[in-house]
Structure 1
Amino acid sequence: VLSAGVSVKMNVLLMVPPLLVLVVGGTRCTTSLAALAAAAAVQLALGYPFLATYPAEYIARAFEFSRQFVYFWSVNWKFVPEEVFLSRPFALGLLAAHIAALLTMAHRRWTAHSGGFFPRFIVDWAARLPADAPADASVADVTPAHVAGVMLEGNFVGILFARSMHYQFYTWYFHSLPLLLWRCDFPGGNPARLVLLLAVEYCWNVYPSTAASSALLTAAHATVFAALCYSRTPAAVAVANVQGYTISKQSKEAAVGGNLPGSGNGDGASDDVDG
């Protein structure tokens, strides 16, 4: 499905990193490879009429990562001077920040319930690779809500560090903002969430965009990202609750067992010795 979506609009590629974390971490290695092969097959099938006639032109234009954006239409970087916006160092800096943010989310959010990305996720995958072993239950046993959250968070990270956001690009993520905001822990609670929603909506309705509206939009995006990074996912909270319950139960059982006659502790044991 995702591969078919990429054939329609390339922004779907923003969801590939979180999808890889879910698939690679939650399935056997052969299953992961089969999924990647299926995605490639979809691309080849849909692009066959063009690949069979003008392959070089199709590949060059269908996945044009080097194309230059028009500064006038940028909604998110108008506070940056145009010469900086068009420069290669700016593009590479955004790419580096995007990768760093994805790794941060992978560690603090997407795999937090199973021990984190560094090093638990990587070590587990490397250990399973030779024998094609199944994933650990704590990694594979996730809910549909967790999957949706991971995918939408990965998409949002791409939005934050996008080279340029034009007005129609708001459709990429506006529908996910309520979910993302209510998955965050905000000091101000719901009022703070509503303020951020209104701020983002306001910025997208300023035409043409200004330095102030772009700065406000980027600040709102960065605030949501920071809140996501420092908030625990529902999956991580559930695991912590189970672990806390287990530890509490074991402690109570140990305390009760320590007071039983003949246990070697407490008054009961002393009575046995004295007798």
Structure 2
Amino acid sequence: MQEVEGVVNGTLDYTHLKGDTGPLVYPAGFVYIFTVLYYLTNQGQNIRVAQYIFAGFYIVLLSLVLRIYSKTNKVPPYVIILACCTSYRIHSIFVLRLFNDPVAMLLFYVAVNLFLDGKWSLGSLFYSLAVSVKMNILLFAPVLLLAYLTSLGLKGALIQLTICAFTQLILGLPFLLSNPIAYLKGSFNLGRIFLYEWTVNWRFLPEEVFINQYFHLGLLVLHLALLACFYSSALHCLCSYATLKQISEKVKRQLKGKKEKVDMGAAAQLFILPLFTANLVGVACSRSLHYQFYVWYFHTLPYLMWSTPYSNIARLCLLGVIEFCWNTFPSTLVSSAALHICHGALLYGLWKNKPLGKGRQQ
């Protein structure tokens, strides 16, 4: 709230927007949303009202996530119920801490539902809105670009990218007109240094390694390498998704006015799996994970776990250890190392079980 108070008072130069936690480092969408919250909560003083609002956000997000899971028909219902009801950290992020991460993910899941419904332009709008709240949403971008190309072709992809870019331009225009360099550097700073004291995933490293630029470069290379490992399976999934969607549209036209319905659960899986996998790769290779970042991928974990060849017991154990790691405060050598082991095991399981070009499973 402190960062947006400057905007409320008429300051649009990002170099002068800051709070107790430091300068404003989020794009314009964050400013607009939290400005509304600023007024709804009596200038940020009425925390109870803010908690009610974020509880509402949480319910809406869960509804969107459950709709995705129901469309894919991949994960047993009891797992989804456990995931929704048992995470203390996620409840804290939403209702106690009031971070912007849940807002960004809420907008992202709106976009995913719209994509699954074939409403690409509206989905791109909400995707860009999510990016304007927090940049972690860009972790999904490589697969989304592939989805644009495979489902809409080059021309359609360019249209969707234009929608995304134009949305960012319109939202950021007041700040760009005031000080464009400060806005771009402040809100889209990919080189920002994180504080070692808050890291969840790299506690077992010395601080001098944690802040070393070569270490950051190595993580970037690893990120790109892992994306490359999953590229062929992602492309196969998305091409198959585009084909099945075209077939389903033809069948729906033929069944128009009849009671029969087309089940597109398998097709939805082909879209969701590479999308969620790309995000997991980004999370696993992050330069630092803070506690509120758990919401970046928490609601995708059951789906990803049930896309591996592991037994149900192993899947539940991995979910439990991940939850333990995120609930350990402050993080320890053991909790950080365990989190990486779980991420590695999950990525290996996804790679082991990835779809092949002929539609078989390894």
- Alpha carbons 1:111, 1:139 under 8 Å: kept: no
Match of 1:145 among 265, 269, 282: 269
Measure the CA separation in 2 of the matches of 1:113 and 1:66: 33
Pick aligned residue for 2:346 from 214, 224, 228: 224
Question: After the TM superposition, which of the residue ranges 137-146 and 209-218 deviates more from structure 2?
Answer: 137-146
- Specify whether residues 106 and 24 from structure 1 end up closer, same or farther in structure 2 by C-alpha distance, changes over 3 A only: same
Pair 1:173-2:297 in alignment: yes
- Correspondent of 2:312 among 182, 190, 209: 190
Q: 2:323 aligns with which of 189, 201, 210?
A: 201
Structure 2 residue matching 1:28: 3-state secondary structure: helix
TM-score, with structure 1 as normaliser: 0.74
Between the aligned partners of 1:139 and 1:155, the Cα distance in structure 2 is 19
Q: d(CA) in 2 for partners of 1:153 and 1:211?
A: 26
For CA contacts below 8 A with separation 6 or more, give which structure has more relative contact order.
Answer: 1
Max radius of gyration: which structure? 1
Structure 2 residue 184 is the aligned partner of structure 1 residue 59: yes
Q: CA–CA distance in 2 between the matches of 1:215 and 1:209?
A: 10
Alignment partner of 1:110 is 2:234: yes
Match of 1:214 in 2: 336
Is it true that 1:91 corresponds to 2:224 in the alignment?
A: no
SS class of match (2:309): coil
Following the alignment from structure 1 to structure 2, what is the Cα–Cα distance between the partners of residues 240 and 222? 23
Deviation (angstroms), 1:239: 3.5
Over the aligned positions, Cα root-mean-square deviation in angstroms equals 1.9
Q: CA separation in 1, counterparts of 2:275 and 2:133?
A: 18
* Percentage of pairs with the same residue: 40
The answer (yes or no) to whether the contact 1:6–1:13 under 8 Å persists in 2 is: yes
- Aligned 8 A contact 2:322 2:339 in 1: yes
* CA distance in 2 between partners of 1:177 and 1:97 (Å): 21
1:37 paired to 2:159: no
Task: Give the deviation of 1:214 after TM superposition.
Answer: 0.1
The within-5 A match list for 1:245-256 is: none
The residue identity in structure 1 corresponding to 2:290 is H
- Give the distance between the partners of 2:353 and 2:269, measured in 1 at CA: 16
Contact 1:77 1:85 in 2 (8 A): yes
* Paired residue secondary structure (2:192): coil
2:145 paired residue among 20, 23, 37: 20
| 1:163 corresponds to 2:265 | no
The answer to whether 1:47 aligns with 2:172 is: yes
Distance in 2 (CA, whole Å) between partners of 1:192 and 1:238 is 28
Shift of 1:24: 1.8
Distance 1:30 1:184 in 2: 35
Q: Contact 1:21 / 1:106 at 8 angstroms: preserved in 2?
A: no
SS at match of 1:15: helix
**Structure 1 segments unaligned to the other structure (5+ residues):** 115-136, 242-275
Give 1:221 shift: 0.5
What amino acid is the match of 1:167? Answer: Y
**Residues 203 and 216 in structure 1, CA contact (< 8 A), matched pair in contact too:** yes
Report SS of the residue matched to 2:132: helix
Contact 2:237/2:270 (CA < 8 Å) preserved in 1? no
Q: Secondary structure at the match of 1:27?
A: helix
Partner AA of 1:152 in structure 2? F
TM-score when normalising by structure 2: 0.57
Match of 1:185, SS state, is: coil
Q: Judging changes above 3 Å, is the alpha-carbon distance between structure 1 residues 237 and 29 closer, same or farther for their aligned structure 2 residues?
A: closer
Distance (Å, rounded) in 1 between the aligned partners of 2:139 and 2:237: 23
